[in-house]
Every structure is written in C-alpha cells, then in structure tokens.
Amino acid sequence: MFSLVVCTVDRFDQLERLFSSLTRQEERRFEVILVDQNEDDRLGPLVDGFAGRLAIRRIRSPRGLSRARNRGIDAAAGDIVCFPDDDCWYRSGTLKTAAALLAADARLAIVTGRTLDADGAPSVSPTGEQPVTITRRNYLSCGNSNGIFVRRQALAAIGGFDEALGVGAASPFQSGEEADLLLRAIAAGKTLGYFPELIVHHDQVTAEIGPRQIERARKYGRGFGALLRKHRFPFAYVLWRLARPLAGWTIAALRRDRAAADYKRAWLAGIAEGYRSWPRWDGA
C-alpha cells in the first residue's frame, strides 16, 4: 500500500485538483495523509467532500515542510511512502507505475521520476530521458520530492527529512531537503533508481524576476550551500557550483539586465552563506 504524505498550507483549489486526480488512480491501494499546516479549518469541507472516494487522514503540524513531512511519515501505514506537493497532480497510472518498478527490483529502496506540466514539458527540475542509477554525481537531475517513492523499510533505516533544511525551517536553509534524503540513502548503501516513465504533473514555476524571487533565490541558495557542506562534497565541486551563478551574474551585468544579475548574485551569495554557516546558523 502507498501512503501519500501531502503537506499543505494556504491552498485549496490546487489541492482539490490533486485529490480529483487521485480518485482516477488505476492502483487503488493507497491512503492520503494530509498534513494540514493552516491555522484555521478551511480544508474541512474539502476533506469531507472526498471522504467517500479517498482514504484521507488529516493531521496537524506547525509550519515547516520537512517537519510536516516527518509528521506524515510517522502517521503513514503504507509500505511505500511518497510526497506529492499540494499543487501537483498525478496521472491515472502514476501509482501503478511506481508499484511495478519497485516490484520488479527488490534492491530498489527509492524510485524517482519526472515532473512535467500539462503539456509534457519539465516544470520543476531538469531530468533525463533514460533510466539511471542515482548517485552523488547525478542526484540533482533525477527528479524532485514530487516524484520520490520510497520503501518504508528504507525510511526506517535512513530516517526522514532533516528539519534544519527546507521551506519553513527554523534555519536560513530553505531548500535541499529532498536531495539530502537521496544523498543519505546513497551513503547508507541503498540502491536508488530514476525512471522517466514515472510521471507527476506540476505547473511551471517560472515567473518574472522581482524582489520576492530574488529573496527566495538567496534562501534556496543557502539550503544548497548547506547541503554541499553537510555531505562533504569536494571543494572543487563546490567551486564549480559557485562558478555557475557567478558566470550568470557576470553575463547579466554585461547585458545590463539588472533583475537577472541581482537574481544570480542572490544565488551565489546564498550558496556561499549556506556553505560557510552549516550547521551553525545562530551566529556561533
């Protein structure tokens, strides 16, 4: 059985779209653990409306994505746990495909897939067209949290999400939690596989660059920098990761594209700050 841990805050219509897609799943052995981080009861009518069609359990959690996911993991009863965003949606065969992949190879602790928009274009992160074993060299191009399906037995061995990483964490490191989960699984000797036929849908997240996007880039950059430090990537690799936004900042500045330059500079500063301060973010 699958346990779908759905953490949500400040959304309604997108969550309804996800639930509607789940009613059409060809694989019916699943439960939904809805981790509600809203302070009010806005989701009560929505949950009641799907109660006859989906097995939904709603639990409460303070804000913080990794914290909420861990609460969902603790409540999950399924053999396979996954983490759809509250604004993504599934194809009718998504769970069936994940089940088949895991059943075909008992060595696989985690399978990941692609996240595409409604037109079939990559929407959250770039991914490849061929199945691969996930390693420290390619983990960034092997999907995102929407497409992670993990055996509960493996979670028991490697632990859940690091609550110092991810959106809403009490630290400056506002990203990196799903990559951290994959890297810890690899370090524990688990086998992980990426499969392009495993598809979850999500709208495009690109937007015109403004102060909000620049601020978010710095926060996400800190998470990535912390990830690099936590997992002891070679310093040459860290320098390469710093060189990419530095090059983008330089090119944008030469083109006099102020917004793009500020965005790349924010990424660069964030990575450097996260790498320097992990795990001490209290000024120590």
In the numeric block, which tokens belong to residue 89? 């949606």
Whole-prediction pTM: 0.94
CA dihedral 120, 126, 130, 132 (to 10 degrees): -140
What sections of 88-208 are H helices per DSSP? 94-104, 152-158, 177-187
Separation CA 18–CA 7 (nearest Å): 12
Q: Is the pLDDT of residue 253 over 90?
A: yes
Give the tens place of pLDDT for each residue, 222-242: 999 999 999 999 999 999 999
| Domain assignments of the chain as residue spans, ordered by start | 2-202, 211-277
Q: Where are the alpha helices (DSSP H) in 76-189?
A: 94-104, 152-158, 177-187
| Tens digit of each residue's pLDDT (9 = 90 or more) over 8-27 | 999 999 999 999 999 999 99
Reported as a single tens digit per residue, the pLDDT across 99-124 is: 999 999 999 999 999 999 999 999 98
In eight-state DSSP terms, residue 55 is: -
CATH architecture assignment, domain 2-202 = Alpha-Beta Complex (3.90)
Task: Report CA 38 to chain centroid distance, whole Å.
Answer: 20
